Structures are given as structure tokens and as C-alpha cells.
């Protein structure tokens, strides 16, 4: 669990991360289906929570440019799997607690901070699903935890 409170923006350094990924375009609600399919490929290699990389800075409900990633402990061969290392670096981080439908408010908080402090954000941004629906039980969306990471240039 992160060592900062929900809705507090912190600056931190993130290490490089090996992931298996798939890039796609479409509505954000497609994420669950993409994660499930990707999870079938990496079951015994998973080393962290799934995430989306967003290649658009603005919100695009129906035509988002997204790369869904699952961190893996080691490189492995699997036909159709894109395995790569994400760069690390300095980023702004914010933990959002609540349903995914309310994430846009968290994005607005970070973007207001970026503009107020005249910072430059690099794409893609990251959306890390720390706690979300399980494979069997959906859980309570009020308790979902999602970390937003905006890398700084």
C-alpha cells in the first residue's frame, strides 16, 4: 500500500518495469475484458497490479488510445504477447479511492496541479489498478484504489 493518503499529489521516482501488454483503441470500459485476456497469458509470471497507459492527455470516452499492461517477473515467450520494459522516472502520483466512473475528477486534480506549477507531462500517463473487482466477486467500487502517474519532462 502506498505511503501517502488518498487524493494527495506526491512526486516520486518510479523504477523501470517489465510488462506484457496490448495496445488498443476504444471505450475505457473495454479495459476489464482486455485485462482478463492478458491475464490468461501471464498467470504464473504476474508481479504487480494491472495498469493502463493512456496516450491521450484529454479524456476520450469512446476512442481512447490505451495500452493495457500487466507487470511480469521475467521475460518469457508467448505468441502474440508484447513483452517490454516501461521506462522509469520522476512522476506525480495520486491515489484515487472510489469507482472508476469517478476517475475523471482525480485527473482534473492532477491537471490543475500541473497547470498551476507550470509542469510538463510526458505521455503516456499510467493508471494502476491497485484494488479493483476480483475474478469472482465485484467488490465494493467505493473501495477500489487506482494510482494515477503523470511522468514529468
Q: Report pLDDT digits (tens) over 45-57.
A: 899 999 999 999 8
Residue after which a domain boundary falls, among 60, 86, 112: 86
Task: Determine the average pLDDT of the residues in 22-37.
Answer: 92
Does residue 44 or residue 27 have the better pLDDT?
27
Q: Residue 82: count other Cβ atoms within 10 Å of its Cβ.
A: 13
Residue after which a domain boundary falls, among 69, 86, 103: 86
Same domain, yes or no, for 44 and 8? no
| CA-based nearest residue to 81, from 1, 19, 31, 135 | 19
Check whether 62 has a pLDDT greater than 90: no
Check whether 81 has a pLDDT greater than 60: yes
Same domain, yes or no, for 35 and 76? yes
pLDDT tens per residue across span 98-116? 999 899 899 999 999 999 9
Same domain, yes or no, for 48 and 96? no
For residue 12, what pLDDT is reported? 98
The domain containing residue 121 runs over which residues?
1-15+88-153
Same domain, yes or no, for 71 and 103? no
Same domain, yes or no, for 97 and 50? no
Q: Determine contact, residues 71/48, Cβ cutoff 8 Å.
A: yes
Q: Exposed, middle or buried, 87 (CB in 10 Å: 0-12/13-18/19+)? A: exposed
Same domain, yes or no, for 149 and 115? yes
| CA-based nearest residue to 86, from 46, 38, 59, 123 | 123
Same domain, yes or no, for 82 and 26? yes
Same domain, yes or no, for 34 and 60? yes
Lowest-pLDDT range of 79-93, 101-115, 134-148: 134-148
| CA-based nearest residue to 95, from 34, 8, 3 | 8
Query: What is the number of domains present in the chain?
Result: 2
Amino acid at each position: 500500500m502506498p505511503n501517502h493518503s488518498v487524493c494527495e499529489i506526491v512526486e516520486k521516482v518510479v523504477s523501470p518495469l517489465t510488462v506484457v501488454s496490448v495496445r488498443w483503441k476504444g471505450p475505457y470500459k473495454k479495459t476489464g475484458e482486455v485485462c482478463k485476456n492478458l491475464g490468461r497469458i501471464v498467470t504464473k509470471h504476474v508481479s504487480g497490479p494491472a495498469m493502463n497507459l493512456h496516450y491521450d492527455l484529454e479524456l476520450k470516452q469512446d476512442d481512447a488510445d490505451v495500452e493495457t499492461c500487466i507487470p511480469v517477473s521475467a521475460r518469457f515467450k508467448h505468441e502474440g504477447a508484447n513483452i517490454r520494459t516501461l521506462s522509469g522516472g520522476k512522476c506525480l502520483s495520486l491515489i484515487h479511492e472510489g469507482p472508476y466512473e469517478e476517475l475523471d475528477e482525480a485527473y482534473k486534480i492532477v491537471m490543475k496541479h500541473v497547470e498551476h506549477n507550470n509542469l510538463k507531462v510526458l505521455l503516456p500517463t499510467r493508471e494502476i489498478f491497485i484494488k479493483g473487482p476480483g475474478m469472482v466477486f465485484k467488490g465494493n467500487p467505493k473501495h477500489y484504489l487506482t494510482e494515477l502517474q503523470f511522468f514529468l519532462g
